[in-house]
Amino acid sequence: MDYVWYAAYGSNMHGERFDHYLRGGRPEHGARTYPGCRDRTPPRRTAPVRLPGRMYFALESLVWTGGLALYDPLDPGETLARAYLLTTDQFTDVAAQEMHRPPGAAVSLTAAIEHGTATLGPGRYETLISPGRLDGHPLLTFTAPWRSETTVWTAPSAPYLRHLAQGLIETHAHTPTQAATYLATRPGAAGTWTTNAIESLLPTTRTT
């Protein structure tokens, strides 16, 4: 299969942040330098998508500190995401970097595409999920192998939330208030972050 859609529901919704997975480098305020993909061609297309299930924050990000965005497809509700049309090699390189493996490491997509899910390891982003297809190509994302209700929710950091909010604004044409409200109501952020607090993290010049 030549192409797949990578459905990003966390900070990779923000195109500038995702570019570090493709071309390598260290994002602003991040604690990790990424090697990038072997093929650094930009995504062929991007599209807004809504995934069945719920995004939540848990554990601790090694890049941003604070809680990580994770996805439970069995939870009620829906998760806003940005789909990038990538080659299969690009997607496996992105997945390998999320799994703290080198680009080019073997990451099999077959089981996830055929059965909807495949666990490739015990780590936080080592479970592949395929929620369906878009324009004939499989949608794929990654998350943790456990259910959201079995882990301790953790509040995310300000730099991390800024990327998520900017990604929602870019992808779903949200206003800053709409993006902040969505994030402030996700488990882990709810009760710690308010809509106003998240909105205050965004550039004041952004209007769309």
The pLDDT value given to residue 162: 95
Query: Does residue 143 lie in a domain region?
Result: yes
State pLDDT tens for residues 118-151. Answer: 999 888 899 999 999 999 999 999 999 999 999 9
Number of domains comprising the chain: 1
Domain contains 105: yes
Q: What is the DSSP string of the chain?
A: --EEEEEE-SGGGSHHHHHHHHH-B--TT-S--B---SS-PPPS-EEEEEEESEEEEES--TTTSBPEEEEETTSSSEEEEEEEEEEHHHHHHHHHHHTT--TT-----HHHHHHSEEE-SSSTT-EEEEEEEETTEEEEEEE-SS-GGGS-B-PBPHHHHHHHHHHHHHHH---HHHHHHHHHTSTTTTTT--HHHHHTTS-TT---
Tell me if 17 is assigned to some domain: yes
Domain that includes residue 91, residue range: 3-153
Question: For residue 1, what pLDDT band results from cuts at 50, 70 and 90?
Answer: low
pTM of the model: 0.93
